[in-house]
Chain A
Amino acid sequence: MLTRDIDLKDAILDLLDNCVDGIQRNAPESSIESDKPYKNFRAEISFSKEGFIIKDNCGGIPIEVAQKYAFKMGRPEAANKNDAEYYTIGTYGIGMKRAIFKMGCSSQVSSQTASDSFKVTISPEWLSSDSEWDLPLEETDRWLPENGTVIEVTHLRDEIAIAFSPPQQSVLHNSLVGEISHNYSYIINKGFTVIVNGSEVPLLPLNLLADGIEQIKQNNAAAIAPFLYEAEKDGVEIKLAVGFYKDIPDGEEIDDEMKGVKNSSETSGWTVICNDRVVLYCDKSRLTGWGELTVPGHHPQFNAISGVIHFRSKGKDASKLPITTTKRGIDASSNLYLYVKEFMREGTKVFTSYTYKWKKNLEEEKTRTKQARLADPIQFFETIPKERWTQVNKRTSESRSFYKERKFTPTLPTPELSAEVGERKRKVSFSRPEKEIEMVAEYLFEDSECEPSRVGEACFEQVLKSAKK
């Protein structure tokens, strides 16, 4: 299978990123703290063999940005000189042009802001010319119903036209919607609407399991809850949450994954969000602390662990964020990130240890945790009372540059170890032919597809009852 369309998906996501940049320039300051600050902002993507269109109402590209960066083409020396500035103005210039040329050789970009309205036309002739560098930016009458941008690409490249036509069109449609719903879940959750070929991208929130807040509030009471950390440095707010997003996997799920029969780990790992943009999604590598220092490397046993870290720069200066210049990745060497990673590891460790502790008592763990519900972890920063948070020890000069720093470590349930040795739990485990398990499952539960672990447990219970008589 080819990876060509994966690049294509990235190109389309680059264009969607421009819409997100627009929102961040234009969302009213007052709404930032509200629940749905991006309500009413939308982007519509449509593609067919005729062409590609993305239109948004996210405020438009300011004309000076367009003149200075977005449509400055080609000359490498000029591009290099401006690199530093690209960084602060979003992905215009890199993302937009790359995306347009990836798809076709003719394009029209129209944009309208509160003060200006302009249009840039890129023609096949212009593209093939070696002498023509300037792209004329033509000021136009206001014609869009709301301030925003419309990018249209036509004269599609052959391979793109194939990807945009049936039957491949529906493949791209589905995988693009899947990708957007994962990578933009955070901003969609805040009210942003994305429509792809007529269908609205569903919200797949990144929620974590937690017992009710009353349970968590109690001192000394064990409760399922995420590990939380927050701090501020140089105008960047940091919020981190890690926990379980589903039941911890049983032996069978782990086996299946090790054998390659099934992959259940896709949504496990760390997601890094900078200014509402996902820059790293479900990472399971050293980049996010897995397999570093005392944290074990990722393994199917940890498939239920998921963490998210938000960096938000106050004001509009993104230069303090720990991201690479392309804004598509985390800058792993940034001091800010290296410092915070310590807490990512600390949080991860809380939950990897938990899975070890319960490994032999999974049934009991399931009963103990069945009260826990999925919830948006961000809400706990507000609801968990002050006295349950702990201050962070400042050891180095680096750590002293952080302020408003605090963390919450949940008191997770531990398996009961009764004082009487006779009560100590041991694990019984055995393998039988699938057909026989099905037969017993049918006999006991009238359902041949009942989970083998439940079948084994029920058999034991049955015999135990007779033995006690």
Chain B
Amino acid sequence: MSGATIPYHLRQNKAVDRYAFMELLSKVDRFCDVSKYQYVGFGGHSLEDFKYIHNRFGISSMTSIERDEEVYKRQQFNLPHNCINCLLQDSNDFVRDFIREERTIIWLDYTKPAQLGSQIAQFQSIIDRFSSLDIIKITLNAHASSYVEANKTVQPNDTWNARIKDLEKKLGNELFPFADISPDMMTARGFPNAIHLIVKYAANLAMRGDLDIYFQPLTSFSYNDGQEMLTVTGILLEKTQSESFFNKTGIDQWELGNVDWKEPTRIDMPDLTIKERMHIDTFLPNFSADLVHEKLGFLINQKESISLEMLKTYVLFYRQSPYFSRIFV
């Protein structure tokens, strides 16, 4: 049910999200040296993101958290570099004992909707202990029907209200943003934004005792490789740092940036053949998606409007989009 069992190369949208994360870090690198950070993540059996981050930035203080003993053993086997400290631990316990001693990038990569309340609480307790320039990425399940299934025998409104009640129950009165979330967001399409607003509220709530430092969102994406997911990355900034941070990194001008909690950008990559991609790539970056669509001469979805929408997504993410192909070894 969770994405954890789907092989990486079949999770194309998640792969794009990861490339976008690398690009974001390289922008932050213009402001402060990312190689000096420690990286903490839930690496899974292949420790994929650890490989990328080590190779790209040379970070060598790395910690992986894994609660499943078999996966943990598999990590030991797959260990891509010997600078990764693998812990067999539940994220709850890790967060409880976390002491921030050096600049940190942490990726809380959750999948289970049932534990939303505790996931948000972990996120808050991490940023509560963070210092300026620490970076956090949180991925949460945003698949509306995994929270409360759509029920065809009742009015849609009843399903939406049931989803609101469910979120309220999972989060409790303290964490539920009563003003921001309304029943009309409880559709499959609106749900990622509702989760986004929950993250926003939680982040600001956790920072409310600090007057000089705040949680600055940097990117927000939603994607679906079987389950709808939301992923938000942000950094703690001193208020006085904010201007020079954006001047140097340019993240506020970046087409993938989201620095003011706008609706998350959707990653929905079309399934293109290599030949199609190479052809489209020759028109980029100077042509608009509309023009490329026209030049293509055929639709990539039966409906023209959807075909164009998909191509637009491709144009937005083509640089972050990997080629997957079969190799023989």
Contacts and interface: CB of A to CB of B under 8 A. Distances in A.
Contacts of A266: 172-174
Interface size class of B (residues with CB under 8 A): 20 to 34
Contacts of A261: 118
Nearest to B165: A246
Interface string A100-136: 0000000000000000000000000000000000000
Interface in B164-182: 169, 172-174, 176-180, 182
B201 A174 contact: yes
A363 interface: no
B200 interface: yes
Interface string A161-178: 010000110110111111
Nearest to A198: B179
Contact of B173 (A2, A162, A178, A448): A178
B1 interface: yes
A175 B178 CA distance: 7
B208 A2 contact: yes
B296 interface: no
A315 B11 CA distance: 68
Interface in B194-229: 200-201, 204-209, 211, 214-215
Given A178-B176, A262-B117, A1 B209 contact: yes
A178 B201 CA distance: 13
Interface string A241-285: 000000000000000000001111011000000000000000000
Contact of B179 (A5, A167, A196, A447): A196
A264 B172 contact: yes
B169 A264 contact: yes
B112 interface: yes
A2 B209 CA distance: 5
B176 A171 contact: no
B1 A170 contact: no
A339 to B, nearest CB: 32
Contacts of A352: none
A449 B114 contact: yes
Nearest to B169: A264
Interface in A154-205: 162, 167-168, 170-171, 173-178, 181-182, 196-197, 199, 201-202
Contacts of A2: 208-209
Nearest to A173: B179
A182 B173 contact: yes
B113 interface: yes
Nearest to A178: B178
A442 interface: yes
B114 A171 contact: no
A262 B204 contact: no
A170 B178 CA distance: 11
Chain B CB count within 10 A is highest, among A5, A171, A262, A266, for: A171
A144 to B, nearest CB: 27
Contacts of A171: 201, 204-205, 208
Given A264-B172, A442-B1, A202 B209 contact: no
A176 B178 CA distance: 8
Contact of A167 (B180, B182, B215): B215
Contact of A174 (B114, B179, B206, B211): B179
B68 interface: yes
Contacts of A448: 1-2
Nearest to A267: B173
Contacts of B113: 449
Chain A CB count within 10 A is highest, among B178, B207, B208, for: B178
A276 to B, nearest CB: 21
Interface size class of A (residues with CB under 8 A): 20 to 34
Nearest to A435: B68
Contact of B180 (A1, A170, A442): A170
A167 B173 contact: no
Contacts of A449: 1, 112-114, 146
A267 B168 CA distance: 11
A266 B207 CA distance: 23
A407 B112 CA distance: 47
A64 B119 CA distance: 55
A167 B209 contact: no
Interface in B112-128: 112-114, 117-118
Interface string A1-12: 110010000000
A162 B208 CA distance: 10
Nearest to B206: A1
A77 B208 CA distance: 39
Contacts of A447: 1
B68 A174 contact: no
Contacts of A1: 206, 208-209
Contacts of A201: 178
B173 A262 contact: no
Contacts of B214: 167
A174 B178 contact: yes
Contacts of A267: 173
A171 B68 CA distance: 36
Contacts of A177: 178-179
A197 B205 CA distance: 18
Contacts of B114: 449
Interface in A320-360: none
A179 to B, nearest CB: 8
Interface string B150-188: 000000000000000000010011101111101000000
A451 to B, nearest CB: 9
B113 to A, nearest CB: 7
A127 to B, nearest CB: 24
Contacts of A170: 177, 179-180, 200-201, 204
A162 B211 contact: yes
Q: What are the 4 tightest A-B residue pairs by CB atom distance, in nearest-first order?
A: A178-B178, A177-B179, A174-B177, A177-B178
29 contacts: A1-B208, A1-B209, A2-B208, A167-B207, A167-B214, A167-B215, A168-B208, A170-B179, A171-B201, A171-B204, A171-B205, A173-B179, A174-B179, A174-B180, A174-B201, A178-B173, A178-B176, A178-B179, A182-B173, A196-B179, A197-B179, A261-B118, A262-B118, A262-B172, A263-B174, A266-B174, A447-B1, A448-B1, A449-B113
Interface of B: 1-2, 68, 112-114, 117-118, 146, 169, 172-174, 176-180, 182, 200-201, 204-209, 211, 214-215
Given A174-B177, A447-B1, 14 more contacts: A5-B208, A171-B205, A173-B180, A176-B179, A178-B173, A178-B176, A262-B117, A263-B172, A263-B174, A264-B169, A266-B174, A442-B1, A449-B112, A449-B113
